[in-house]
């Protein structure tokens, strides 16, 4: 049976810090990562400008173009939910069987530990630089530096779907 870990996040947008996290997880001996896109029911807002489908597409593009490979990534999405012990089993119903969860969120870590799952706490991967809030702000400010913080294919995709204009419009009205 394949060893599988889950990474749960918003990926608004997927950036190079996420890629480092995926590589770190695979280097821990996991065969696959179940990447669960959270807050799938929220989009076109300053904090969540991209749809769940767009974020899944970004993950797939990045897996193909950064050497991770689509065979290592399983993607799914889950609507916005409250954080409590009951949500653990609800969350797990959206992904194939996992052995561990990878998270730096202490509440999520505690809930999954209490449910009997192994929790891995990854290091920070240049968190100030690779932070989606920072990247969205750069996009809104028309600063081209944002393109260096996401995989090239993801930057192209964001531009292709009108994501740059969307973020600028959404954040200018915020």
* pLDDT-wise least confident of 25-29, 82-86, 124-128, 143-147: 82-86
Give residue 138's pLDDT band: very low, low, confident or very high (50, 70, 90): very high
The residue behind tokens 């695979």 is 26
**Domains assigned to the chain:** 4-172 (3.40.50.620)
Planar angle of CA 170, 171, 173, nearest 5 degrees? 70
Per-residue pLDDT, averaged over 104-110, amounts to: 90
The residue behind tokens 């913080």 is 149
Q: pTM of the entire structure?
A: 0.93
Q: What is the dihedral of CA 47, 50, 53, 55, to 10 degrees?
A: -70
Tens digits of residue pLDDT in 59-68: 999 999 999 9
* Average pLDDT score, the chain: 93
Pairing of strands 73-77, 100-102: unpaired
Residue 13, token pair as written in the block: 């947008």
The residue behind tokens 């990045």 is 62
């Amino acid at each position: 049976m394949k060893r599988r870990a889950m990474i749960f996040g918003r990926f608004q947008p997927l950036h190079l810090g996420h890629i480092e996290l995926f590589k770190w997880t695979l280097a821990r001996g996991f065969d696959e990562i179940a990447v669960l896109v959270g807050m799938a029911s929220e989009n076109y807002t300053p904090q969540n400008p991209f749809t769940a489908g767009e974020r899944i597409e970004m993950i797939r593009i990045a897996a193909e173009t950064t050497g991770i490979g689509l065979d290592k990534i399983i993607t799914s999405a889950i609507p916005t939910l409250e954080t409590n012990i009951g949500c653990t089993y609800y969350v797990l119903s959206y992904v194939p069987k996992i052995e561990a969860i990878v998270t730096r969120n202490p509440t999520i870590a505690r809930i999954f530990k209490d449910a009997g799952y192994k929790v891995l706490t990854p290091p920070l991967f240049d968190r100030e630089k690779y932070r989606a809030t920072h990247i969205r702000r750069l996009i809104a400010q028309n600063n081209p530096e944002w393109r260096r913080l996401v995989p090239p294919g993801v930057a192209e995709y964001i531009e292709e779907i009108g994501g740059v204009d969307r973020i600028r419009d959404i954040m200018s009205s915020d």
